[in-house]
Structure 1
């Protein structure tokens, strides 16, 4: 029980200190907004090729946003940090499925796999912050929206799927920013209280 309590405190502290990594969430939103915009100008195959290439810019964009906002998500390391490597490996394993689908399926199918596959690490990231429900909800809602759009709007898949995912990111970024700010204030109060008591 002592280890569980320590882990809970560590997760909460990291979440508050890093404001839930909201620059990464904002970078994802920008990526999907750009794809939605490009869908109005590019044919399906060039759009998907662009989507694949631009996905590699999400992390550098997150780093730039973190630098601009003063968020130090790259500098903070704790006992849970090594968990991120297998979480990202698990997410990256969807790419072979995506390339197989790209060779055999429609652009809408590929876009749907991209939209869902890029969220596979969210539940684990949420766990490391002590916010499994919040981050898992993002991934689940995103998957449901993508499946619904795929079936309900077959002619608009390449625009509506990126817009829906971008909306999920923006709502999540706002919730994370507010919630993590509240946790950070609570953490500071608890630390100040312990310092005063000591």
Structure 2
């Protein structure tokens, strides 16, 4: 059993290094949330809600565009743990009924549910890369900060400062993941 565990851990770390932590995906998240912050400042709240709802469908195509731009073929890479991604994404997507219900009945809750709900898969992704602290840290920090902004801020803050904070957390995560995966890659090349 320990040999299997060690081999699986090595494969997860290798994928993290090879794909540079899948940074094109959080880079797409950075773009989405930064655009939502801008929309919150220049357009009415009703427009923000619709942009947030339907714009979320652009995250994956943006990630593919960034992957092509940076020559990071995360979609073609397969490991022994790739199968965990489908249940992780299904689990994350289950937040949508709550988000839509909030949009219909208590729209001020929608930014909070969206910001936290769209991060529910991060711990599993972190586990798949053998980097749980980095990825779970993103989700936890994000949840705490967006809740604080949502609770302490004004309705305008919820569609401006909140998405700007999520974009900043994403960008910081992209930087951390890129640097960390480079270090792991260097370490693995020495072994």
Give the TM-score normalised by structure 1.
0.93
Q: Are 1:176 and 2:143 an aligned pair?
A: no
Q: Deviations over 1:148-189 (max 9, x none)?
A: 001111242110110110011000000000000111111122
> SS where residue 120 of structure 2 aligns?
coil
Q: Alpha carbon RMSD of aligned pairs, Å?
A: 0.8
Superposition deviation, residue 46 in structure 1: 1.7
2:126 maps to 126
Map 1:2-151; keep pairs closer than 5 Å.
2-106=3-107, 108-151=108-151
Superposition deviation, residue 9 in structure 1: 0.3
1:195 maps to none
Q: 2: CA distance between counterparts of 1:78 and 1:124?
A: 15
Q: Deviations over 1:86-143 (max 9, x none)?
A: 000000000011111111103x310111000000000000000000111000000000
Q: 2: CA distance between counterparts of 1:141 and 1:160?
A: 15
Larger Rg: 1
Q: Deviations over 1:53-106 (max 9, x none)?
A: 110110111111011111111111011111100000000000011111111103
How many residue pairs get aligned? The number is 189
Q: 2: CA distance between counterparts of 1:69 and 1:38?
A: 27
Give the TM-score normalised by structure 2.
0.97
Q: 2: CA distance between counterparts of 1:54 and 1:178?
A: 29
Q: 2: CA distance between counterparts of 1:46 and 1:34?
A: 12
Q: Deviations over 1:7-29 (max 9, x none)?
A: 11011000000000001111000
4+ aligned runs moved over 4 Å, structure 1: none
Q: 2: CA distance between counterparts of 1:141 and 1:103?
A: 28
